[in-house]
């Protein structure tokens, strides 16, 4: 069921998308300059420049709905933050698992889709100019004697900060892998779980595994540019937008794409070059077939993994971080956990609970930063300071 528009006046989604790309764009441009430096001066010194070093008040781990709302709450307190997510864009479960599904239990929003909620949250946090770092999984944490932290990301960047908010949900979404022994040796060479640069697949014989939105989006996008394409789905049911399934079937009828129902079971390589994969077809005879290929694109969906956070010495209860419910501080002073990642008596894994937790964590962080000051509640309706910070 599709949800209706959020408000009578349709919301300008493009502005928010542009804003999101703008934020990651700034970081992309900086990184590009560093890469160029490294290319021009291939020395150890240039090598160290490839990684970026940032300094901020708070690092938020996770750009799901709760992480996004914490940007807003921190912003109201006058606190700057950087936000890291292992995914290529904001949204967490709302975007990864149910972008088009209606949500009915967000206060004052009778119905909105997962995607609309994330767009709204991005719009709401925009006045506070958060710096987003996508495709950046938080991998390491250094604790310093003065109570500050340095976080490290899979992109090679490091972030000095005074406090950390973990809003990592069920963990970092990672691609579900192909279960054929030895095939991972081709990852990022001939086998890809994400399309980072579509041009590398041009003119290639491409096989796509999967039948969801990502599989079909990329099949349709790449088909005009590849030498040949076969899409292999496990079942007759494609879990993708109906219009895209229709387009794929039209391409199949026109002989431009092969569509097969089956499962990958084996591969053949020559001198480390993947040449063929064997599939077992979903027919009664369980026929097996070899397919020649240059590139294998795999879209089996994403599954969450807690990863490095598990090894930071935080207290856990059944894979959830325990916190003090008045501040949402974890067992490590200065590190807070909000949203689906935490647990306490009465915890409910709901977006609205995460929003409340984000507000209390922001107040607690403000008190920690300014221990001699009484932090009063100020209404956005009437406080000129809040309105100044919001830029309204
Ligand atoms: C099908 C479905 C329907 C739902 N419907 C509702 C509903 O109607 N109402 C409701 O209230 N709730 C609903 N929920 C639950 C809701 O989506 C979650 O409660 C909410 O997404 C939790 O938000 P979060 O920000 O805590 O975590 P998430 O949304 O899981 O976001 C966490 C983010 O952190 C990132 N991350 C994790 N680890 C790292 C790391 N080490 N480095 C970098 N990034 C990292 C992840 O990539 C992810 O983007 C639904 C859930 C599902 C699956």
Phi, psi at 171, each rounded to 5°:
125, -175
* Angstrom distance (rounded) from CA 173 to CA 163: 24
Query: Region 157-174: what's the mean pLDDT?
Result: 95
Q: What's the CA-to-centroid distance between 350 and ligand 1, angstroms?
A: 9
Is residue 280 situated within a structural domain? yes
**Does one domain contain both 264 and 352?**
no
Q: What's the CA-to-centroid distance between 153 and ligand 1, angstroms?
A: 20
Query: Of 252, 260, 264, 113, whose CA–CA distance to 177 is shortest?
Result: 264
Mutation choice for ligand 1 from 61, 64, 67, CB with most ligand atoms inside 8 A:
64
Range of the domain at 220: 183-300
* Angstrom distance (rounded) from CA 19 to CA 13: 10
Tell me the pLDDT band of 19, cut-offs 50, 70 and 90: very low
* Angstrom distance (rounded) from CA 341 to CA 154: 20
Is residue 284 situated within a structural domain? yes
**Does one domain contain both 294 and 340?**
no
Is residue 88 situated within a structural domain? yes
Tell me the pLDDT band of 303, cut-offs 50, 70 and 90: confident
pLDDT at 304: 83
Is residue 3 situated within a structural domain? no
pLDDT at 172: 86
168 lines ligand 1 (CB under 6 A): yes
Is residue 203 situated within a structural domain? yes
Q: What's the CA-to-centroid distance between 101 and ligand 1, angstroms?
A: 14
63 lines ligand 1 (CB under 6 A): yes
**Does one domain contain both 32 and 107?**
yes
Query: Region 338-349: what's the mean pLDDT?
Result: 98
Total number of domains in the chain:
2
**Does one domain contain both 265 and 364?**
no
**Does one domain contain both 195 and 258?**
yes
**What is the torsional sign of CA 353, 360, 151, 334?**
negative
pLDDT at 21: 45
Q: What's the CA-to-centroid distance between 363 and ligand 1, angstroms?
A: 23
**Does one domain contain both 116 and 43?**
yes
Least confident of 155-164, 190-199, 249-258: 190-199
pLDDT at 15 over 50: no
Tell me the pLDDT band of 47, cut-offs 50, 70 and 90: very low
pLDDT at 242 over 90: yes
- Which domain-ending residue is among 254, 283, 300? 300
Residue closest via CA to ligand 1's atom 19 equals 350
pLDDT at 173: 83
76 lines ligand 1 (CB under 6 A): no
**Does one domain contain both 135 and 198?**
no
**Does one domain contain both 79 and 211?**
no
pLDDT at 385: 96
83 lines ligand 1 (CB under 6 A): no
pLDDT at 25 over 50: no
Is residue 1 situated within a structural domain? no
Helices 242-253, 213-222: inter-axial angle, 10-degree rounding: 40
At 49-103, the pLDDT tens digits run 468 999 999 999 999 999 999 999 999 999 999 999 999 899 999 998 888 889 9
* Angstrom distance (rounded) from CA 74 to CA 201: 42
pLDDT at 50: 66
pLDDT at 96: 86
354 lines ligand 1 (CB under 6 A): yes
Mutation choice for ligand 1 from 61, 69, 92, CB with most ligand atoms inside 8 A:
92
Q: What's the CA-to-centroid distance between 46 and ligand 1, angstroms?
A: 38
> How far separated are the first and last CA of the chain, in Å rounded?
36
**Does one domain contain both 109 and 18?**
yes
- Which domain-ending residue is among 278, 300, 322? 300
114 lines ligand 1 (CB under 6 A): no
* Nearest atom of ligand 1 to the alpha carbon of 353: 11
Is residue 386 situated within a structural domain? yes
Phi, psi at 306, each rounded to 5°:
-70, -35
CATH classification of the domain holding 353: 3.50.50.60
pLDDT at 162: 98
- Which domain-ending residue is among 250, 277, 300? 300
pLDDT at 159 over 80: yes
Pull the structure tokens for residue 41.
């001066």
Pull the structure tokens for residue 142.
């250094």
Sequence-ordered alpha helix ranges (H) in the chain: 13-40, 44-50, 65-76, 92-96, 114-125, 213-222, 242-253, 351-369, 384-390
According to DSSP, the residues that pair with 323 across neighbouring strands are none
**Does one domain contain both 200 and 267?**
yes
pLDDT at 89: 93
Burial of 294 (0-12, 13-18, 19+ CB in 10 A): middle
Q: What's the CA-to-centroid distance between 349 and ligand 1, angstroms?
A: 9
**Does one domain contain both 249 and 339?**
no
At 111-128, the pLDDT tens digits run 999 999 999 999 999 999
105 lines ligand 1 (CB under 6 A): yes
> Pairing relation of β-strands 158-161 and 149-153?
antiparallel
Q: What's the CA-to-centroid distance between 347 and ligand 1, angstroms?
A: 15
* Nearest atom of ligand 1 to the alpha carbon of 349: 19
Is residue 338 situated within a structural domain? yes
At 265-299, the pLDDT tens digits run 999 999 999 999 999 999 999 999 999 999 999 99
Q: How much is the pTM? A: 0.77
* Angstrom distance (rounded) from CA 383 to CA 377: 10
* Angstrom distance (rounded) from CA 250 to CA 248: 5
257 lines ligand 1 (CB under 6 A): no
Residue closest via CA to ligand 1's atom 6 equals 103
**Does one domain contain both 349 and 228?**
no
Angle 329-351-301 from CA coordinates, rounded to 5°: 105
């Amino acid at each position: 069921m599709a949800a209706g528009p959020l408000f009578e006046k349709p919301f300008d989604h493009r502005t928010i998308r542009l804003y999101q790309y703008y934020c990651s764009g700034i970081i992309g441009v900086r990184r590009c300059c560093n890469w160029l430096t490294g290319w021009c001066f291939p020395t150890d010194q240039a090598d160290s420049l490839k990684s970026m070093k940032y300094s901020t008040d708070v690092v938020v781990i996770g750009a799901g709905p709760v992480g996004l709302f914490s940007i807003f709450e921190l912003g109201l307190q006058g606190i700057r933050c950087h936000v890291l997510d292992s995914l290529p864009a904001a949204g967490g479960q709302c975007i990864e698992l149910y972008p088009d599904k209606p949500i009915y239990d967000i206060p004052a929003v009778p119905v909105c889709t997962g995607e609309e909620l994330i767009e709204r949250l991005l719009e709401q946090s925009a006045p506070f100019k958060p710096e987003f770092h996508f495709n950046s999984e938080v991998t390491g944490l250094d604790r310093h004697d003065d109570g500050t932290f340095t976080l490290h990301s899979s992109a090679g960047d490091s972030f000095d900060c005074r406090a950390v908010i973990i809003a990592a949900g069920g963990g970092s979404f990672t691609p579900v892998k192909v279960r054929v022994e030895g095939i991972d040796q081709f990852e990022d060479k001939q086998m890809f779980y994400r399309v980072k640069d579509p041009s590398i697949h041009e003119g290639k014989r491409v096989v796509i595994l999967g039948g969801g939105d990502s599989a079909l989006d990329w099949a349709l996008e790449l088909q005009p540019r590849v030498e040949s394409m076969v899409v292999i789905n496990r079942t007759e049911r494609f879990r993708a937008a109906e219009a895209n399934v229709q387009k794929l079937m039209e391409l199949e009828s026109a002989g431009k794409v092969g569509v097969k129902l089956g499962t990958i079971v084996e591969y053949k390589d020559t001198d480390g070059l993947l040449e063929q994969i064997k599939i077992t077809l979903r027919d009664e005879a369980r026929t097996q077939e070899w397919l020649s290929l240059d590139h294998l694109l795999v879209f089996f969906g994403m599954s969450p993994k807690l990863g490095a956070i598990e090894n930071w010495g935080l207290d856990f209860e059944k894979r959830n971080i325990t916190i003090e419910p008045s501040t949402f501080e974890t067992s490590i002073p200065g590190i807070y956990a909000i949203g689906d990642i935490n647990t306490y008596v009465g915890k409910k894994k709901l977006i609205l609970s995460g929003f409340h937790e984000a507000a209390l964590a922001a107040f607690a962080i403000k008190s920690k930063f300014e221990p001699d000051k009484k932090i009063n509640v100020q209404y956005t309706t009437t406080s000129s300071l809040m309105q100044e910070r919001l830029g309204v």
